[in-house]
Chains A and B, each alone.
Chain A
Amino acid sequence: MWARLLAIITKELKQLARDRMTFGMIVMIPLLQLMLFGYAINTDVRHVPAGVVDLSQSSYSRALLQALSASQVVDFTHNYSSATAAERAITNGEVKAVLYLPADFGERLVNHPAFDSHRERSALTRPVAQWLVDGSDTMVAATIRALRTMPLDELADRSVNAVVPTFEVVEYFNPEQRSVVNIVPGLLAVILTMTMIMFTSAAIVREREHGNMEFLIATPVKPLELMLGKIIPYVLVGLIQVTIILCVGHWVFAVPVRGGLDSLLLASLLFICASLTLGLVISTIAQTQLQAMQMTVFVLMPSILLSGFMFPYEAMPSAAQWIAEALPATHFMRMVRGVVLRQAEVMSLGEDALWLLGFTCIGVLIASKRFHKRLG
């Protein structure tokens, strides 16, 4: 048993080492994704290209524009003469939003309670200006909408008068609110899902396509030996990827690793094994490598979208939550964010750990049962 298992592992590792492309991908996939999500993809919206229709042309209007520019939320790049021209510009995609300052802007401003704190809200109180927004991009629209209650103290030459908030919010674990802190541990789940399922989903099919399977099933090798022999080398690959992601995350993006490395290792191992077995089960179903790839994508998409990597699990409808619960990535996402960001122990996340363990055992059993040492 052990000699045969060792032989299969050695064989897989040698084949992997000779496959330059695959070997390169093991390193490049995590690096590329880290760069993409770390630098390119950012949900903190800044520098929205915007236009102005300034009908008041007063010193107040210029001061307001300056205050808005200083906030870096919008960049005023265009001036338009009328609301119609502004609408056309939004339709053409020239700008995402336009600030419309009416001719009576100055009058509206002095009547506004945010400008003159002594003034009570009255019939004369109206918004000082209007934003026209390309609402098709909800992220941009939400950013502009957040400007609705912008304080106007600065325009009144008053020192900023801190409004007493209803709630005080203390942000644990990520006080600067950088999204990359949440994304890097999440990327562990996404990258491992992608590479682990992909590697093993091709594993059995490839042997079949290259004709090696006919030789292999004519030998006394046992299905379980073959399945384990296909999984174990990639556990190593998975751990290499975990190391790359966390090191780059730590040194380039200053993402802290607060939890213990033993907890992290255990959580990663559980997830790697679960993903690999999922790939293996796919491999016993697919007839060609192309089919295996398609099935991998079929699992990968919900893993990215539903696992809580991009959108909060809590915001999903319950049907989507059920699907998410079935995916190993969701459970790992919870565990790894807990361990890396909140210094949680794997043991305190026992349910997720148990679920991954169960998934792996059942997966290996199904794969060995489904793999018949027969042709046709």
Chain B
Amino acid sequence: MTEAATSPEPTVAISASGLTRRFGDLVAVNQLDLTVPRGTIYGFLGPNGCGKSTAIRLLTGLLEPSAGEVTVLGQLLRGHEEALKSRIGYMTQKFSLYDNLSVLENLRFVAAIYGVRGQKGRDRIDELLQQYGLEHRCQQLAGTMSGGQKQRLALACATLHQPELLFLDEPTSAVDPQNRRDFWEQLFDLSAAGTTILVSTHYMDEAERCHRLAIMEHGFKRADGTPRELMQSMGATVIEVSGDGLRQLKQQLTVQTAVISASQAGSRLRVLVKDEQRDPLGLLQPFCGAHQLEIVRPSLEDVFVTCTGGRHVG
């Protein structure tokens, strides 16, 4: 491979610096700096409209950045988009294969487009059909399949040419929890085989499965790191309050400047207090006479809420 020669840092799959994309007045992606190590599953976590899809389109070369540079698989993206397209796979947010072609016809089309030919192509298609449980459906028209089946077909098509780097844009938004679990198992299989995966999601449980992730909001990257790092360094204390009358209590607490957010889960209220407040329990105590207070381990959702200042949850 010539990879070592062209790549300054072969352990990095994607590196971006100052990546910016404007649509008129809207800045969809703002000064994004990103380093995705090879072989990892890297997550983009953020609410709808935060710039996840735009960022992925910039990194795949489908959109031209307004500013900034991207290096993908050791090669500068600008000017090498076409050469890189055979080394990356991209699964779009919306199903983008042909509804009026069968599973097998779709796979054959994709194989031909990527130049996976002859016996090698047929073997690869058989392998994928088996791997993604589509053998019995190979004559079915793609448009008539369920969300989970379509998603498996889309993944099969995106990985048919065995890309080194795989982009998945909200791959599980149209599938049920069981299918999501299975899907992630398949992603770990791919990862174990050496594929670098960049996946965007707005599900906390999915984000938690990633090796590393970036939290995005309004086009900005608010934080990045491993889920554990993010939880340890989040800059807030999580206190669970249990008892009655939690709705009123929530009203009282959320107006406090030190309180980032308060959200109810069953009979408990989860309160995020900024770290600059030295005595978080002491702050809450006067409001919750008969309630029980307990400092608990932060979850990824807490990290997300802290990063985004409580604007999207609670």
Answer whether residue B90 sits at the interface, using C-beta atoms and an 8 A cutoff.
Answer: yes
Q: Which residues of B contact A15 (CB under 8 A)?
A: 98, 100-101
A220 touching B96 in the complex, CB below 8 Å, given contacts A3-B115, A14-B101, A214-B62: no
A19 touching B100 in the complex, CB below 8 Å, given contacts A3-B112, A220-B85, A220-B86: yes
Q: Mark A204-219, 1 if CB is under 8 A from B, else 0.
A: 0000001111111111
Contact A211 B62 (CB under 8 A): no
Closest to A5 in B: B112
Answer whether residue A11 sits at the interface, using C-beta atoms and an 8 A cutoff.
Answer: yes
Whole-angstrom distance from the CB of A15 to the nearest CB of chain B?
5
Contact B96 A212 (CB under 8 A): yes
Q: Mark B82-101, 1 if CB is under 8 A from A, else 0.
A: 10011010101011111111
Q: Which residues of A contact B204 (CB under 8 A)?
A: none
Q: Which residues of B contact A118 (CB under 8 A)?
A: none
Whole-angstrom distance from the CB of B144 to the nearest CB of chain A?
12
Contact A210 B113 (CB under 8 A): no
Q: Mark B133-170, 1 if CB is under 8 A from A, else 0.
A: 00000000100000000000000010000000000000
Whole-angstrom distance from the CB of A8 to the nearest CB of chain B?
8
Closest to B157 in A: A215
Q: Mark A1-31, 1 if CB is under 8 A from B, else 0.
A: 0011011101100110011000000000000
Contact B99 A210 (CB under 8 A): yes
CA distance A210 to B142 in the complex (A): 13
A215 touching B90 in the complex, CB below 8 Å, given contacts A15-B101, A376-B63: yes
Contact B97 A215 (CB under 8 A): yes
Contact A6 B112 (CB under 8 A): yes
Contact A218 B90 (CB under 8 A): yes
Q: Which residues of B contact A217 (CB under 8 A)?
A: 62
A7 touching B109 in the complex, CB below 8 Å, given contacts A218-B62, A220-B114: yes
Contact B112 A214 (CB under 8 A): no
Q: Is the interface of A mostly helix, strand, loop or mixed?
A: helix
Contact A218 B60 (CB under 8 A): yes
Contact B92 A211 (CB under 8 A): yes
Q: Which residues of B contact A18 (CB under 8 A)?
A: 100, 141
Contact B95 A211 (CB under 8 A): yes
Whole-angstrom distance from the CB of A11 to the nearest CB of chain B?
5
CA distance A219 to B163 in the complex (A): 11
Q: A residues 36-65 with Cβ under 8 Å of B?
A: none
Q: Which residues of A contact B23 (CB under 8 A)?
A: 376
For chain A, which range describes its interface: under 10, 10 to 19, 20 to 34, or 35 or more residues?
Answer: 20 to 34
Q: Which residues of A contact B94 (CB under 8 A)?
A: 211, 214
For chain B, which range describes its interface: under 10, 10 to 19, 20 to 34, or 35 or more residues?
Answer: 20 to 34
Answer whether residue A319 sits at the interface, using C-beta atoms and an 8 A cutoff.
Answer: no
A11 touching B109 in the complex, CB below 8 Å, given contacts A214-B96, A215-B97, A219-B114: yes
Q: Which residues of A contact B108 (CB under 8 A)?
A: 7
Q: Which residues of B contact A374 (CB under 8 A)?
A: 62-64
Contact A218 B95 (CB under 8 A): no
Whole-angstrom distance from the CB of A376 to the nearest CB of chain B?
6
A11 touching B98 in the complex, CB below 8 Å, given contacts A217-B62, A220-B86: yes
Q: A residues 210-267 with Cβ under 8 Å of B?
A: 210-221
A4 touching B96 in the complex, CB below 8 Å, given contacts A14-B105, A218-B60, A374-B62: no
Whole-angstrom distance from the CB of A7 to the nearest CB of chain B?
3
A3 touching B117 in the complex, CB below 8 Å, given contacts A11-B101, A14-B101, A220-B86: yes
CA distance A207 to B86 in the complex (A): 21
CA distance A17 to B109 in the complex (A): 16
Contact A218 B97 (CB under 8 A): no
Answer whether residue A123 sits at the interface, using C-beta atoms and an 8 A cutoff.
Answer: no
Answer whether residue B268 sits at the interface, using C-beta atoms and an 8 A cutoff.
Answer: no
Whole-angstrom distance from the CB of A100 to the nearest CB of chain B?
67
Whole-angstrom distance from the CB of A208 to the nearest CB of chain B?
11
Q: Which residues of A contact B57 (CB under 8 A)?
A: 375
CA distance A128 to B156 in the complex (A): 89
Contact A212 B98 (CB under 8 A): yes
Q: Which residues of A contact B97 (CB under 8 A)?
A: 212, 215
Contact A219 B113 (CB under 8 A): yes
Whole-angstrom distance from the CB of A204 to the nearest CB of chain B?
14
Q: Which residues of A contact B99 (CB under 8 A)?
A: 210
Q: Which residues of A contact B96 (CB under 8 A)?
A: 211-216
CA distance A337 to B141 in the complex (A): 45
Q: Which residues of A contact B117 (CB under 8 A)?
A: 3
CA distance A219 to B161 in the complex (A): 10
CA distance A306 to B110 in the complex (A): 44
Q: B residues 271-289 with Cβ under 8 Å of A?
A: none
Interface residues of B (CB under 8 A from A): 23, 57, 60, 62-64, 81-82, 85-86, 88, 90, 92, 94-101, 105, 108-110, 112-115, 117, 141, 157
Residue pairs across A and B with Cβ atoms less than 8 A apart, 14 shown, are A3-B117, A4-B112, A7-B108, A8-B113, A10-B109, A15-B100, A211-B95, A218-B88, A218-B90, A219-B110, A220-B113, A220-B114, A374-B62, A376-B63
18 more contacts with CB within 8 A, not counting A374-B64, A375-B62, are: A3-B117, A4-B113, A4-B115, A8-B113, A14-B100, A15-B100, A211-B95, A212-B96, A215-B92, A215-B97, A216-B96, A218-B60, A219-B114, A220-B82, A220-B115, A373-B62, A373-B81, A376-B23
